[in-house]
A and B are shown apart, each in its own frame.
Chain A
Amino acid sequence: MRVLVAMSGGVDSSVAAARLVAAGHEVTGATLKLWGGESDSGCCSVSDVDDARRVADALGVDHHTFAYGDEFAADVIAPYVAAHAAGATPNPCMACNRSIKFGALLERADRLGFAAVATGHHARVVTGDDGRRRVGRGADGAKDQSYVLAGLDHERLGRVLFPVGDSSKDAVRAEAAALGLRTAGKPDSQDVCFITRADGRARFLGRRLPLTPGRVVDTAGAVVGHVDAVETVTVGQRRGLGLPGGGAPRYAVAVDTATATVVVGGEVDLHATTQPVTALGWAADPITGPLTVQASAHGVPRPGRIVADGVGGGAGEIRWDAPERRVAPGQAVVAYQGDAVVAWATATATATPVRPVEPR
């Protein structure tokens, strides 16, 4: 069949393309130009486009570059900045997957006559007993990217291929080397593609937002420190809060940009038995039974259940089997049954813990 392979210039998508060619598909490569600014590792620099094109040349397939800069700015960067302005910690990779790679690109592929879009993600498409497709974990547990792909529904997953999802990263690299692909030894991409290590998140946001200096208070309300920008503080953060060293570790447990206040507390304050969420979506029918829920790309899945609030609008909460760390508002929570993604949602703020000063 005709397949459009999104080639980032990395080793995974290179091997994905190679495997599709070997399987006899009619393959075309495309590199998405998403971000015009600085990038350490992303898929947008000229040299990455060059790598993708040279791999396509080596495989004997056509390669195109698609400009999605406007869409990326509107659907990924703008929500990212707005979320930080509201004290939330967004997940831009997930927004990019949903709106660009498996949104605009998938629609374009359809118009251009392609049966499927393939990427180098370490994930699988699994079909349940109910006949519904779900995102499944990649075979390489350490490289699994099912979390950032959560939200892809049955219909879209029918037009998506993950050719390296069954392989370990080592096997992918070995295959690239055996095929003589120039990307075989390329380092893995890291973190958010549009924020460079040299620049950092605070400076990136500082050019797009007025950053607000704020107070750091403990759970009893006493001021214990100051931060330069409350917009860059994430729930669960331990460093950079201006707190004196020594003693038990303290964490940001709540961020309120309206009052420019960060609340810090100990390990116990960081934990909660429930986690409110919004934008709750299900891969198939809702599941009331036990699931495992993951709150970051490579986080440990924790046992819990999902309870919708019954009012609709996608609000609900995660009820943890045992108290778990609070999830920063804006972060995605992804629920699995076994290795299959069954639900996804966005964390919202938990009630700020307030403890009275203990009587002496």
Chain B
Amino acid sequence: MRPEAVEAMLPFLAQHHGNPSGAHAAARHARRALDDARDAVAALVGCRPGEVVFTSGGTEADVTALGGVVAARPGGLVVGAIEHHAVLDGARAAARLGSEVTTIGVDGAGHLDLAALEQHLAAAAAGTAPMPVVAAVALANNEVGTIQPLDALADLLAAHAPDAVLHSDVVQAAAWLDLPTLAARAHLLALSAHKLGGPKGVGALIVRSGTAVRPLLVGGGQEQGRRSGTPNVAGIVGFGAAARLVADQREATATRVAALRDRLAAGLLAALAPIAPGVRETVVPAGSDRRHVLPGHLHLCLPGVAADEVLFLLDQAGVAASAASSCASGATEASHVLVGLDIPPDVARGSLRLTLGWSTTEADVDRALAAVPAAVARVVGAAAPAPIAVPGGSR
């Protein structure tokens, strides 16, 4: 977490524990903190403060968005094939109300198949497919980092399904991308504080005015009746502090981290090529730039290499990486994102996801450049490669 977010939260854990719904001084203090955080999140997103609904995180925001739209107005759902499980399962849950979920595939770079979407929407307009009331596509994929052109999507919806709502999970994108521009045409957005350097367990659903969403959590009527339950004041304050920092530093951080990521990518591809033949960047074709990928993402496929063994050795070397989204018991399972990208199962088992953040340093990259090839060499039984001099190192 960002130290500033921790600092901001502490008073609301220790001294100011008033419930913002009350009418006393402590309540007013909490209320003010909540409103300040709401302003900060709204500024980051480019929406009005009244459009921010605080939730327990991105999952609640996604599930509320999909279920809430369908509950307000029955109809079909459209989701991308590589959406987060909160969206895929949220759509499936919403469909139990009598709707149908249509899944749109992606190309090898992770971009939504817009032609397939257009075909589906045209069929819906012609009455041969269910007319969608909501389409959900993340601005950036959490696993491989591919950024989607939401505007092109919004154009298609406007042309063929003008009443449909566009929902975008921006949990992964919010720390890196210019939401006021890139997500301007989404009616609903899901955010999570922890991806901004804030606390876990708090997030937001942005509901642009005029968008009909029935609440998932009902009860005391907090958050203007759109999300009942006593607000997590300290968490929301931490969220606000993190959002403020991201808004101030986002561009500089993105530029700096993208350069680190590019150095890591070049170094790893060079070092791994002799020991893991066929190694490649999962969503970046050879020779292509990485402008369509989040600055902090590097996703590699190492055909025939047991990624879970590489991760084990990396963990021992103090490098935290992942192979796929983790399941509840902690074992890594084949990822639906890699399946959606049409990566064969034996290659998917050799996938390695390295992410960099605002706190990543040149020294961290050097450590990964040494540890990853050594771990892969050990797993495939090859001699550890000699360290490769990488331009731009921290010397």
Interface residues of A, Cβ cutoff 8 Å to B: 31, 33, 44, 46, 49, 53, 62, 64-67, 69, 108, 111-113
Contacts and interface: CB of A to CB of B under 8 A. Distances in A.
B287 interface: no
**Closest 7 A/B residue pairs (Cβ):** A67-B331, A65-B330, A33-B331, A65-B331, A49-B329, A46-B329, A46-B328
B235 to A, nearest CB: 25
Interface in B160-204: none
26 contacts: A31-B329, A46-B328, A46-B329, A49-B329, A62-B315, A64-B312, A64-B315, A64-B330, A65-B329, A65-B330, A65-B331, A66-B308, A67-B331, A67-B332, A67-B333, A69-B333, A108-B306, A108-B309, A111-B309, A111-B378, A111-B379, A112-B309, A112-B312, A112-B313, A112-B378, A113-B378
Given A64-B312, A67-B331, A67-B332, 12 more contacts: A31-B329, A44-B329, A46-B329, A49-B330, A62-B315, A64-B330, A65-B329, A69-B331, A69-B333, A108-B309, A112-B312, A112-B378
A44 B330 CA distance: 11
A64 B329 CA distance: 10
Contacts of A67: 308, 331-333
B381 interface: yes
Interface of B: 306, 308-309, 312-313, 315, 328-333, 378-379, 381
Contacts of A33: 329, 331
B377 to A, nearest CB: 11
A239 B36 CA distance: 73
Contacts of B331: 33, 65-67, 69
Contacts of A66: 308, 331
Contacts of A53: 330
Nearest to B329: A49
A16 B18 CA distance: 50
Nearest to A32: B331
A138 to B, nearest CB: 29
Contacts of B330: 49, 53, 64-65
Which of A33, A53, A64, A67 has the most B CB atoms < 10 Å from its CB? Answer: A67
A62 B315 CA distance: 10
A45 B328 CA distance: 10
A46 B378 CA distance: 30
B154 to A, nearest CB: 39
Contact of B381 (A44, A46, A49, A111): A111
A112 B381 CA distance: 10
B17 to A, nearest CB: 31
Contacts of A111: 306, 309, 378-379, 381
B160 to A, nearest CB: 39
A53 B379 CA distance: 25
Contacts of B381: 111
Contacts of A46: 328-329
A31 B379 CA distance: 20
Contacts of B333: 67, 69
A44 B329 CA distance: 9
Nearest to A45: B329
A53 B331 CA distance: 12
B32 to A, nearest CB: 41
Contacts of B306: 108, 111
Contacts of B315: 62, 64
A167 B42 CA distance: 64
A131 B275 CA distance: 39
Contacts of A65: 329-331
B318 to A, nearest CB: 13
Which of B309, B329, B333 has the most A CB atoms < 10 Å from its CB? Answer: B329
Contacts of A108: 306, 309
Nearest to A36: B333
Nearest to B323: A67
A69 B332 CA distance: 10
B302 to A, nearest CB: 14
Contacts of B313: 112
A174 B313 CA distance: 35
A69 B312 CA distance: 18
Contacts of B309: 108, 111-112
Contacts of A62: 315
Which of B308, B312, B331 has the most A CB atoms < 10 Å from its CB? Answer: B331
A69 to B, nearest CB: 8
Nearest to A64: B312
Contacts of A49: 329-330
A62 B331 CA distance: 14
A111 B375 CA distance: 10
Nearest to B306: A108
B276 to A, nearest CB: 14
A33 B312 CA distance: 16
A113 B379 CA distance: 10
Contacts of B328: 46
A46 B331 CA distance: 10
A62 B316 CA distance: 10
A64 B333 CA distance: 14
B343 to A, nearest CB: 15
A61 to B, nearest CB: 13
A329 to B, nearest CB: 34
Contacts of B379: 111
A65 B381 CA distance: 22
A58 B313 CA distance: 23
B307 to A, nearest CB: 11
Nearest to B381: A111
Nearest to A48: B329
B345 to A, nearest CB: 8
Contacts of A112: 309, 312-313, 378
B108 to A, nearest CB: 24
A53 B330 CA distance: 10
Which of A62, A65, A108 has the most B CB atoms < 10 Å from its CB? Answer: A65
A69 B349 CA distance: 13
A107 to B, nearest CB: 10
B379 to A, nearest CB: 6
Nearest to B324: A67
Contacts of A31: 329
A69 B328 CA distance: 15
A5 to B, nearest CB: 14
A67 B327 CA distance: 10
